[in-house]
Structure 1
Amino acid sequence: MVNVIINPTSSKLKKINCDTTPSTTLSAIIDAYAKKNNVSDPNRIKFSYVFNDKPDSKSKGKKVTLKNYLTLEENGLDFSKNPTINVYAKDVGPQIGWRLVYFIEYLGPMIIHSLFYYLYYSPRQMNFTQLAAFNITLLHYLKREYETLFIHSFSADTMPLAYLFRNSGHYWIFNGLFIAFSIYAPQYKYTNNTSTKFWSFIHHVENRSLDELKWYIGAMIIFEICNLYSHILLRRLRSDGSREHKIPYGFAFKFVSFPNYFFESLSWAVFALMVNNWSGYLFFVVGTGTMMMWAKQKHAKYKKTFGDKYPKNRKAMFPFFF
């Protein structure tokens, strides 16, 4: 047996001595600790530990959040030198499941686009490009919802509820509100109307022929399928139910660590070119920039975690140069 002293950093939590074993999962300890403190949702409780015995570690002297799904030993807590270890408990506030977060994020644009398409504007007054844009957008987010419910695997169970609005803003505002308001307006009101140059710019949508649209839609479908397949390959890495990170191989993973981001970016680039509206280009730039930032951070984490085992020539998001 070993002893874990749980020191609260939140005023409503209690200090408790816990007799346990190194092979006990942290989630089991947190469940018991939450019950002792009358906290209904154990996901609100996060444990951290100060690693002072690792001179080469960047985390030395800092509180590192421990992973709930790992055992104490797997979290790096070494009881060989001292059978008693101090950890710190914090109530991080109301939580929401990651799967529900993604579901809400992707549901927003579907609702907003539908409201603008059917209620604020009229489908009978739209050209073929606008019709294609609406349908391809719905298909994109239906795919996203399918991935959320049946494919994605999450390392963490929950996130702070307060972050939901921040996370949803990108999709609800940039893709939902900006694009839906801009591209579904009746084009006859603004074509060759010099008195409304500003609104002509805001609502301009390229009037593509059906032959042109076939190429744009075909390219988007290919990139969406490639994105979906990348997610499926990532899901297979955790087919055994584990949550630890593993090195993905095959398909476009041969060139980049995050082909799902790469194909997502290409898909929205095609969409922006198809509609040729400022809102499409803005969403592409903001989305691609955000994914590049995520890819860079996660790529660095891959290389730090796996060292020489990680493919050296593999880039973060764009083959051969980034």
Structure 2
Amino acid sequence: MKDIELVYKGEIYRIPNRWDGMTDRQYIRLVADLLRMAAGGLSAGEVRINWLCDIMNWDRRCFRTEEQIANLVAISEQLTFLFQINYPDNNAVLDGMDSETYELCRRVDPFRLHLHIARVLRRLDYQYVVDLCFCAQLIPAVRVKEHTYQGYTVEKGYGVLTCSLTALQYIEARELIGHGSESLPLMAAILYYPEKLYNSERAHALAQEFSALPPELLTAISFNFQAFNNYLFSKTPFSLLSKFKSNPDHPITTDASDALYDLSKDGLGDARQIEQMNVLTYLKVLRKKTIDAVRDMKGFGWDKTKISNEVGLPISVIDDII
């Protein structure tokens, strides 16, 4: 998604159309609006307008005439990074579209969409959902009472992805996704753990202190981590690890916690060393083990169906590996 460029009185203004184009305070205010939207207090359009005025330092009250308001709305509707539009039956109505048209239909409201299919889409029960998929750390530090806690780092400069999370940190935080607001202080304590060596017990004890943070900040921390997790498994080679069938009847474990300690059995270190392994190293090892297992079975003369049943991966993924 490209940033938006405006020309006004000979000057060019650029509006970021991406998650990593805002400050931590702007991000937290956006999350506060998203919480209001979830509670029915704001529409998706109002969230976009509020964010646009915030990022551009515009006073919304200054937009008074019909033309001014129409221009503000038109600009805000070009902000496509915030939401995706979900249509019934897992977007079945969009099946068979080319990728560009599909993406357009998922980003632009059907009442603003200039395509023939828009007439059909307008009659469907569609929903706006927050598009949490990006690679950035938008809240590098948080202050809790008298202490400042530095968060994990995420970088992808020069085409190289790096992250400071340990394997155990990542796994424990990931297991809390979707567990409701009561789990948010613990997730924050895990992700902003202050000591060099991560300690699960101490992180859990620290959660009480993080419970003093406002809900919009705790939610912002959770959203940021969810977005990074989604990025890992949709935009990187680690997406292979998300292809396993649910509850497959096979001996190769896909549970993150089990897989972590299985690496110790493979001679990669004791349990403590494996826990402190960098998360990206951990995922690289799991990916390699998966690929090696599939290729070994192929070498044994197994057909793709048998390999798929044994490993728990779809045949299409098996084809890509072998």
Whether the TM-score (by the shorter chain) exceeds 0.5 is: no
* Range class of TM-score, shorter chain: under 0.3
Q: Which has the larger radius of gyration?
A: 1
